[in-house]
Chain A
Amino acid sequence: MSIAVPLYGFGASGGSPNKSTIIVTAPTGSTVACTMGSTMKTAPEKNGVWTFGGLDLGTWTITSTKGGDSATQDVVISRLTVEYVTIVYRITPEFTYTGDYEIVDDSDNAISDFANWKSNWKIRFLTSGTFTVTKLNGWNGQLDVFLVGGAGTPTAGASGVWYVSYGGDTATLHNVSVLAGESYNIAIGAHGSANEQGGATTAFGTTCSGGSAGGRDAHNNIPNRVKEFAGDTDSDALYGGYYPAVNVNAPDNSGSGVVSDNSQSWPFGGSGIVIARNARRAA
């Protein structure tokens, strides 16, 4: 963010008359420079603030680095002015995942520009794979993780009689430490075949069993579906338990069991999921 303060006819911040000034706020300990063409201005840090004075009109480039973090911002000086620039390094990790995944905000809206995202985030691991953080950037390497096992699938039911399968088990982990360069295998449990248990979901040292195939009127014993992270997000999605629609497949990655009252066929339970988010509690 920058704020232009016009200084009509006055010198800026005690610098040269008729010259402009850029005041940069960046994480303390950064190396900050201000350049235009072959001209480079330097300034000492004063408690996380760098003041570059005596700047001619034109486009100045602010570069800031600290350790492995860096940021660049152009500032256009078109009149005598003081410009304020705040540098925030990337706070989201860079990673690879060999399976399918999506990056979303707390309401499950897709994040299209993760590199410049400055708020909370979640990674929804949809299929099995290997997760590797290649660069932590400004992230502290701490995850909260929610796991759901794959749901079972019932046998064919009977008209008017519910055959219901169980959803996968769920678990929530807080402050899981992730190291850059280390690979973490994530197994997403599949839904069961007809009259079969679902697969187990495993990630970050924790396993959630798949739901069983259940049986006649099993829904009387099946726990309700739950929200991720015990409801501690803005997401309304529900997991585990059983999907309360008759003869309908449960959504993929819901880990929810299903209801069959059809003697000829059966719906399939939902596959499991792993959801990881930047940790929200102090370690």
Chain B
Amino acid sequence: MAKSMALIESGTVVNMLWCSDSEPETDTIINPADRPVGIGDIYSNGKFYRDGVEILTPLEEALKKNAEYEAALSEIEEALGV
């Protein structure tokens, strides 16, 4: 088995490498896990960004949307006095 890892230079993803499952992370080779990272994305403080927006895993994305729906629902309920 193998995994994709991001090669980082000056805070930017410059290549996506196909690496052994046992390949450890270093300062320049980072495992993005399930995040759909691509060449040109930004890496800063342990997080990946594209167009200024953090790149999340599918699960993190779903949880984020769920939280947004709940917040919107709360606003509606408050407006309706429910």
Contacts and interface: CB of A to CB of B under 8 A. Distances in A.
Dominant secondary structure at the B interface: strand
Contact of B18 (A190, A194, A196, A197): A190
B5 to A, nearest CB: 7
Given A128-B5, A199-B4, 8 more contacts: A99-B19, A127-B18, A187-B17, A190-B17, A199-B39, A252-B18, A271-B18, A272-B18
Interface of A: 99-100, 126-129, 150, 187-194, 196-200, 210, 252-253, 271-272
A189 B16 contact: yes
Contacts of B9: none
Contact of A271 (B2, B37, B38, B39): B2
B18 A150 contact: yes
A199 B36 contact: no
Contacts of B23: 99, 127-128
A187 B35 CA distance: 21
Contacts, number: 72
Interface in B6-26: 7, 15-20, 23
A192 B16 contact: yes
A199 B2 contact: no
B40 to A, nearest CB: 9
Given A127-B23, A187-B17, A196 B38 contact: yes
A218 to B, nearest CB: 17
Contacts of B18: 126-128, 150, 188-191, 199, 252-253, 271-272
A127 B17 CA distance: 8
Nearest to A192: B38
A270 to B, nearest CB: 10
A272 B16 CA distance: 11
Contact of B39 (A129, A187, A196): A196
A193 B19 contact: no
A189 B15 contact: yes
Contacts of B2: 100, 126-127, 252, 271
A205 B37 CA distance: 26
Contacts of A194: 36
B20 A99 contact: yes
Contacts of B17: 128, 187-190, 199
A126 B37 CA distance: 21
A231 to B, nearest CB: 25
A109 to B, nearest CB: 22
A191 B4 contact: yes
B53 to A, nearest CB: 15
Contact of B20 (A100, A198, A272): A100
A192 B19 CA distance: 14
Contact of A127 (B19, B35, B36): B19
Which of B17, B19, B37 has the largest number of chain A CB atoms within 10 A?
A: B17
24 contacts: A99-B19, A99-B20, A99-B23, A127-B18, A127-B19, A128-B23, A129-B20, A187-B7, A187-B15, A188-B17, A188-B18, A189-B17, A189-B18, A190-B19, A193-B36, A196-B16, A196-B38, A197-B38, A197-B39, A198-B16, A199-B16, A199-B17, A199-B18, A252-B18
A126 B20 CA distance: 8
B20 A199 contact: no
Given A190-B4, A196-B38, A252-B2, A127 B20 contact: yes
